[in-house]
Structure 1
Amino acid sequence: MTAPRTSCGCPFPLILPGSDVTAAVSLFARALAIIDVQVTGLHPDKDSIWEVAVLHVEGGLVVARHVWLLKPACALPARVSHVCGVLPAELADQPCFAEVAVELARCLEGRVVVGHNLRVAHAFLRHGFARAGLRVRYRQLCTLQLARAVWPDLPCHSLDALCEGQGISRFFKHRALPDAEAVWQLLSTLLTQVQAERLQRQLRKAAVPRFLTAERLQAVPSRPGVYYFYGENQALLYVGKSRNLHQRVQSHFQNDHHSRRSLQMAQQVRDIRVQPTAGELGALLLESAEVKRLLPLYNRQLRRQRDLLTWVLIPGIEGLQPELQAVGCSVIGGNSVGLFRSRRQAQAWLRSEASRSQLCLRVLGLERGNGACFATQLGVCRGACCGLESREAHDLRLLAACEQLRVATWPWSGPVAWVERDLVQGLSHWHVLDQWRHVTTVDDPALIGAALQQPGQAFSLDAYHILLSHLRRFPQTEVVVL
């Protein structure tokens, strides 16, 4: 008997000896939407869709084709125009995504959406639908993930490589409709070799990145700690922390459409490692230290920073004089005001406060000269520079202006250990601290003495904020004075 053929000329999957017939049968019992999306770049927030094609498959047959040529919200890059054979002028008079969003949503709603490297298309679709005020629900099946499961030893699983390897003819590449046709033919080939159980796992793991397994994500514990994302050749991509590692790790792959960086990172993750901690404080401190030590590719906020500067209010014969000093390893607090990453940032802040509080830039040492400053003539300075105002009154306003950024004084005379305990897991950590510096964390108090003999750690702005915030939130923190 001749196998029935789809309307695209592709035969209904021929079940090979030893394969699982229920895989194709179970999938073709569902309504499918084979999709391909062409975009201007990889940034879902800044780039845009310019072409979409959807094939409706029911009972193993293509019953309808839908193609939209769209006007992108950004310029069409020259390389995209060259590779895809489309001119910007062809798109100028086309509708934008929002104008076809409702129609496209109807084509996808309630179906199993099938695409190659579907995470990218899904990211752009979710972003576009969200802007249009729509929420579209559909199951997902990625032929890239399915191909990796069926043919794990292939050197490349791109659509071009798989079509060439499987003898799938393509009348054109890198356009939505012919690529969607190629995905449909690839799916038909895959269904001749995949087991039904594996297919069902692929349908359930829409939020699993292509290089990981659902079992690996499920193994991440639901407890506080730090997680590490590794890419190819064990390159460290990202270090993060959470009170619930399992939920946080999952969220990376469920929300990777929010930015280009998160989308790219999710595409590259090949391995995950975790380091449990006794609580949130330990996770925060460990993440901050590890990012500075390891410099992961996708971390930005906590990476190694320059030496910090602070304004120190030095009492003199005439009154208080701000002096910019490096934080270094010296004791800070008391008369220290602000923590700045550069001299320019520090001076800009002091000038802003001087303007807001009518302080004299000449008295503050930010301008040179004698007698009344120019700001006095403008009414911006109250005249501490020329005797119109007493220095005591000027210093009182200076102290009030500095109060908000005054560096907190270390509450103890020397180093201490903050104790954090996880009673459920039976884990305790001693965070050794001195002058708002995180010296180390140990799980045995007998190791504290050796830790204190190590060279002093540089002051970290991140650790300072972490410790100060924790102390304000949990004033009853268990403290051991060393």
Structure 2
Amino acid sequence: MSGAALPAALQRPLAVLDVETTGLHPQRDGIWEIAVLLVDAGRVSGRLSWLLDPGQPLPGAIAALSGVLDAELRDQPRFAAIAGELLAALQGRLLVGHNLRFDLAFLRRGLRAAGLALRARQLCTLRLARQLYPELPAHGLDALCAQLAIPRFIAHRAPADAEATWQLLQRLAAHPACAESLNGQLRKGAVPPGLGAARLAELPERPGVYYFHGAGGALLYVGKSRNLRRRVQSHFQNDHASRRSLQMAQQVCEVRVTPTAGELGALLLEAAEVARLQPLYNRQLRRQRELLSWTLQLAGGGLRPELQALARLAPGVEHAGLFRARRDALEWLRGQAREHGLCLRLLGLESGQGACFAAQLDQCRGACCGREPRSAHDARLRAAFGGRRLAAWPWRGPVALVERDAANELCEWHVLDGWRHLGSVRDPARIAALLDNPEAPFTRDTYRILRSHLRRHPEMEIVEL
């Protein structure tokens, strides 16, 4: 196809690129080959390619598929060495690629590491093919080349795949509906295939919680933001730091939002909804394990830490820390022993009699063998616990933190008791029903949210109930 026959949107300078990587994870895997076709006025004006040392072994499956041996890459330059030249070649051009979102996730990560940034308009031939040929059974580059009779002599090498992408773009450009689809994609920017740009434009610019749904209404992710529209759009900007974020963005078919009166309401609602709904991609907040805390018990003539479930602690007992796993709690206590010269044996972390091994290395001050009084050891232990002791509830009973959004005439009452979030209501008449819910759990996330918010907003309206 000649340059004159291309749609007007493709008459601009293009950079058709392909990136070959050692795997699917932008944070863990590396780039081993890049190719760029420079296209001006509809014709290829230059070809650039780099074979690179990815900084890790080339997996055997990729070596077999591409015909490249791991040994061939060891003397090649690293990405940082060619980053400036690559960026200069891409500047001012419309970037074209097949599943471009994937390639850009790797390129942008490498460019950031080199202190560079890539900003350019983008065109994904995968998305374009799905729009123009929805009836085809598959839309991968290999499948499209076979279905559209695009000749390929080499596959899974960056120069060959960039050439195939350019040939595919020209075939797609010949479709009667291509001009409209091109203009739509370039105008909308990065929008997942199942979600229209008009839907994103409808989202409010106010605080709240958003819900990403996939095919069949499956809940993928729950998030929060002070500006719902801006935050949701940021998920689809073709700049993904991980495979999971890339995968999630491509699966989104619907977005639902619940506005809140402010940031605190969004934080509390997100934590509650993740615990209740268990979304697929909310790893950190999804599983609410029983929280553990270290307590100080009298044993063997002094104090000894004992790990207990927070919910079972006796009133008034000295305790420190909130831990989701026993391993995390033990790691913290060992760190305190190193920092404060505490004895692992007296802490119950080591067995035996007489001087402990750390005392022989002067890492323990010798309370285990009489070199220092046990009282001095226990004083340092109490001091270590003081830094992680839970803050006392500052009110006599339950309270409501009142959050107002005057612009949208919305007021929310966040009902709390002992750092537990009993619920949020917009009608104060419903507060009484929340106070009858004593089973609301204490969670580390809610505790931290409330402590942080109260430190930053000491002037917040608080009503004792």
1:479 aligns with 462
Question: Is 1:410 matched up with 2:393?
Answer: yes
- 2:13–2:39 contact (8 Å) kept in structure 1: yes
Pairing 1:85–2:67 present: yes
Q: How does 1:307-456 map to 2 (within 5 A)?
A: 307-313=290-296, 322-328=305-311, 335-359=318-342, 380-381=364-365, 383=367, 389=373, 391=375, 395-454=378-437, 456=439
Aligned-pair CA distance for 1:118: 0.9
* Conservation of the 8 A alpha-carbon contact between 1:256 and 1:266: no
Match 1:247 to one of 206, 230, 234: 230
Residue 30 of structure 1 and its aligned partner are, at CA, apart by 1.0
Structure 1 residue matching 2:285: 3-state secondary structure: coil
1:234 corresponds to: 217
The change in CA–CA distance for 1:140 and 1:348 in structure 2 (over 3 A counts) is: closer
Q: Distance in 2 between matches of 1:304 and 1:231?
A: 21
User: Who is 1:59 aligned against?
Assistant: 41
* Distance change >3 Å, CA 206–CA 331, structure 1 → 2: farther
Is 1:459 equivalent to 2:442 in the alignment?
A: yes
Distance (whole Å) between structure 2 residues aligned to residue 317 and residue 49 of structure 1: 59
CA distance in 2 between partners of 1:361 and 1:101 (Å): 50
Partner residue of 1:105? 87
Match of 1:76 in 2: 58
* Contact persistence 2:354–2:368 (CA under 8 A): no
The amino acid of 1:66's aligned partner reads L
Cα-to-partner distance string for 1:199-237 (whole Å, 9 max, x where unaligned): 223123333334333222222221111122223333332
1:256 aligns with 2:243: no
- Report if the CA contact (8 A) 2:21-2:31 is conserved: yes
State the 1:283 CA deviation. 1.2
Aligned to 2:288: 305
C-alpha offsets along residues 39-82 of structure 1, whole Å, 9 cap, x if unaligned? Answer: 22122232222222222222222333333333332221122122
Q: CA deviation at 1:438?
A: 1.2
Q: Please report how far the alpha carbon of residue 412 of structure 1 lies from its aligned counterpart in structure 2 after TM superposition.
A: 2.4
In the other structure, the counterpart of 1:35 is: 17
Gaps of 5+ in 1: 14-23
For residue 203 of structure 1, give the secondary structure of its aligned residue in structure 2. helix
**1:335-358, CA deviations, whole angstroms, 9 ceiling, x for partnerless residues?**
332222344543453454355445
Instruction: State the shift of 1:329 in Å.
Output: 6.7
Q: CA deviation at 1:12?
A: 6.6
Following superposition, the deviation at residue 110 of structure 1 comes to: 1.0
Displacement after TM superposition at 1:172 (Å): 2.9
Measure the CA separation in 2 of the matches of 1:131 and 1:374: 43
Q: RMSD of the alignment, in Å?
A: 3.2
Aligned to 1:268: 251
Does structure 2 conserve the Cα–Cα contact (< 8 Å) formed by 1:329 and 1:459? no
How far is 1:462 from its partner? 0.9
Specify whether residues 343 and 95 from structure 1 end up closer, same or farther in structure 2 by C-alpha distance, changes over 3 A only: closer
CA shift in 2, pair 1:397/1:130, >3 Å: closer
Aligned position for 2:133: 151
Distance 1:331 1:423 in 2: 44
**Contact 1:329/1:456 (<8 A) preserved:** no
Q: Deviations over 1:68-98 (max 9, x none)?
A: 3333322211221222233324434444333
Structure 1 residues 313, 28: CA separation in 2 closer, same or farther (over 3 Å shift)?
Answer: closer
C-alpha separation in 2, matches of 1:176 and 1:376: 60
| Closer, same or farther: CA 171–343 of 1 in aligned 2, 3 Å | closer
Task: Give the % identical residues.
Answer: 58
Shift of 1:36: 2.0
AA matched with 1:38: E
How much has 1:120 moved relative to structure 2? Answer: 1.2
Question: What amino acid maps onto 1:303 in structure 2?
Answer: R
| Higher radius of gyration, 1 or 2 | 1
Deviates more, 1:135-144 or 1:309-318: 309-318
1:140·1:203 contact (CA, 8 Å) conserved in 2? yes
d(CA) in 2 for partners of 1:149, 1:382: 74
Alpha-carbon distance, 1:289 to partner: 1.8
When residues 243 and 330 of structure 1 are mapped into structure 2, their CA distance, relative to the original with a 3 A threshold, is farther
For 1:126, the equivalent position in structure 2 comes to: 108
Task: Tell which deviates more after alignment, 57-66 or 354-363.
Answer: 354-363
Q: Secondary structure at the match of 1:405?
A: coil
Are 2:193 and 1:177 equivalent residues in the alignment?
Answer: no
State the secondary structure of the residue aligned to 1:275.
Answer: strand
Deviation at 1:161, TM superposition (A): 2.9
- 1:48 is matched by which residue type in structure 2? G
Q: Distance in 2 between matches of 1:369 and 1:44?
A: 48
What TM-score does the superposition give when structure 1 sets the normalisation length? 0.84
Whether contact under 8 Å (2:104, 2:238) holds in the other structure is no
Structure 1 SS opposite 2:463:
strand
TM-score (norm 2): 0.87
Q: Quote how far apart the aligned CAs of 1:463 are.
A: 0.8
Residues 358, 113 of structure 1: CA spacing in aligned structure 2 closer, same or farther, 3 A cutoff? Answer: closer
- The DSSP-based 3-state class of the residue aligned with 1:254 is coil
Counterpart of 1:166 (choices 137, 148, 152) is 148
**C-alpha distance 101-406 of structure 1, shift in aligned 2 (>3 A):** closer
Secondary structure of the equivalent of 1:328?
helix
Q: Give the total of aligned pairs.
A: 463
1:114 corresponds, among 89, 96, 100, to 96
Contact 1:33–1:112 at 8 Å: present in 2 too? yes
For residue 385 of structure 1, report the CA deviation from its aligned partner.
8.1
Report which stretch shifted further, 44-53 or 360-369: 360-369
